[in-house]
């Protein structure tokens, strides 16, 4: 086993391995993963030293939690940190004939209702523990309370109000009673971090968009706000959902949609700089994120065990400092972006 460095999460007193595992793919995101392959991904992560696992009831309508729990139940509970999420409550599908699994194409036959209330969050947490087969999770994340999912100001504001007036009490109770160690919020876009910080006292954000090798917009306002309050960041979409792993190939994906021509061209220019310095694009994408001291961990997902090993190997590979200097000189990286 390798000793992956650990970093603290906000003021929780909890540390996580800076290289963790995101488990949305284990919920059969976009393609079905056989059970043996799913367990192989988890084992590969454990073997390279990963001790931070992130899951959610949303991933495969409980399938990811079942798979993660099956694996982690066989480990000593104090050897790893586990995060899961709240905001959706699941029930058996009403009609299997019309059941729509959504993007998790092999999802279990359960449907959800959105619920950020006190009862909804407690129910979600308890249901997660039963799916996991574990007595506790370490970190809870308020999941997807933003425009990416709810689209309109009216709906987002209604759910934020439900969280503030009801659900937050559940999370605060769980944390203050020591049942969980920290509370975070998952963010898919810019603008939500300040809104959350106006309402509740979080320990960290799980960020999908706004900070990666292609865009560092969160350095403008969001990250300074977090830094002032001692709040950490975990980076979820380390490859921007595809293009930073594949490069600007036909059909490359950028945040779950085909990449725009502008993004394809930007990626191509970054990749050319990487090639001049004999550095694979995904290697630069991964190491760039961990150069920021506000980042506690990166949690790339994996569809197969080899992907985990490949990501780990890329994190060990030396990158010439001139690569970062050239990216900044070419205007492809913000001047104020921390680099390795």
Distance CA 162, CA 212 (A): 31
Asked about 256 being catalytic, the answer comes back as no
Query: Residue 241's pLDDT is what?
Result: 85
Q: Going by C-beta distance under 8 Å and a sequence separation of 6 or more, which residues neighbour residue 220? A: none
How far lies 73's CA from each of 60, 137, 180, 206, in Å? 20, 12, 18, 24
- Tell which phi-psi region holds residue 133, choosing left (phi > 0), alpha (psi between -120 and 50) or beta: left
The pLDDT score that the predictor gives to residue 195 is 94
Q: Divide the 340 residues of the chain into consecutive groups of 10 and give the mean pLDDT of each group.
A: 90 97 95 96 98 98 98 97 98 92 94 97 98 97 91 93 97 97 94 94 94 95 96 96 92 89 96 97 98 98 96 97 97 96
Helix (H, G, I), strand (E, B) or coil at 90: strand
- Count the neighbouring beta carbons within 10 Å of the beta carbon of residue 340: 12
Catalytic-residue membership of 85: yes
The residues with which 180 forms a beta bridge, in sequence order, are none
Alpha-carbon gap, residue 67 to 73, rounded angstroms = 10
Q: Across the strands, what pairs with 110? A: 92
SS3 content of the chain, % helix, strand, coil (to 5): 45, 15, 40
9-329 maps to CATH 3.20.20.100: yes
Q: Residues 28, 63, 80, 85: which is the catalytic one? A: 85
Q: Which residues contact 8 (CB under 8 A, 6 or more apart)?
A: 14, 15, 232, 296
The strand pairing partners of 232, in sequence order, are: 204
Query: Of 201, 84, 103, 191, whose CA–CA distance to 143 is shortest?
Result: 84
Annotated active-site residue 313? The verdict is no
59, 118, 159, 209: which is the annotated catalytic residue?
A: 59
Pick the catalytic residue: 54, 127, 144, 203? 54
- Domain segments of the chain: what residues? 9-329
3-state secondary structure of 290: helix
Residue 299 main-chain phi, psi, to 5 deg: -130, 70
The CB-side HSE value for 136 (13 A sphere, CA atoms) comes to: 15
Cα 337 from Cα 296, distance rounded (Å) = 16
- The alpha helices in 83-191, defined as continuous H runs, are 118-132, 147-150, 153-162, 168-176
207: three-class secondary structure by DSSP: strand
Name, in order, each residue with C-beta under 8 angstroms of 166's C-beta and a sequence gap of 6 or more.
116, 117, 118
Question: Do residues 164 and 121 make contact, with C-beta atoms less than 8 angstroms apart?
Answer: no
Contact 209, 255 (CB under 8 A): yes
């Amino acid at each position: 086993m390798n000793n992956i460095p650990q970093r603290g999460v906000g003021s929780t007193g909890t540390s996580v391995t800076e290289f963790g595992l995101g488990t949305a793919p284990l919920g059969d995101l976009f393609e079905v993963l056989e059970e043996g392959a799913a367990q192989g991904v988890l084992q590969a992560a454990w073997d390279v030293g990963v001790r931070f696992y992130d899951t959610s009831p949303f991933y495969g309508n409980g399938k990811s939690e079942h798979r993660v729990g099956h694996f982690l139940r066989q480990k000593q509970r104090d050897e790893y940190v586990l995060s899961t999420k709240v905001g959706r409550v699941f029930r058996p599908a009403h009609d299997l004939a019309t059941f729509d699994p959504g993007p998790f194409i092999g999802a279990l036959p359960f449907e959800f209702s959105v619920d950020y209330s006190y009862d909804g969050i407690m129910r979600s947490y308890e249901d997660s523990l039963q799916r996991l087969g574990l007595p506790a999770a370490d970190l809870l994340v308020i999941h997807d309370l933003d425009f990416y999912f709810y689209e309109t100001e009216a709906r987002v504001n209604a759910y934020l109000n439900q969280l503030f007036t009801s659900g937050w009490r559940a999370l605060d109770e769980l944390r203050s009673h020591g049942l969980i160690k920290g509370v975070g919020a998952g963010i898919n876009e810019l603008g939500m971090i300040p809104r959350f910080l106006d309402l509740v006292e979080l320990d960290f954000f799980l960020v999908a968009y706004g900070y990666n090798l292609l865009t560092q917009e969160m350095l403008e306002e969001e990250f300074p706000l977090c830094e002032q309050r001692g709040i950490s960041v975990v980076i979820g979409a380390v490859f921007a959902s595809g293009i930073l792993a594949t490069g600007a190939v036909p059909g490359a994906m950028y945040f779950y949609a085909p990449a725009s021509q502008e993004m394809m061209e930007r990626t191509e220019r970054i990749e050319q700089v990487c090639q001049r310095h004999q550095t694979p694009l995904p290697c630069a994408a991964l190491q760039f994120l961990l150069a920021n001291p506000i980042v506690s961990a990166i949690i790339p997902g994996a569809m197969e065990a080899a992907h985990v090993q490949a990501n780990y190997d890329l994190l060990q590979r030396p990158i010439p400092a001139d690569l970062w200097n050239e990216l900044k000189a070419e205007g492809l990286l913000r001047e104020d972006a921390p680099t390795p």
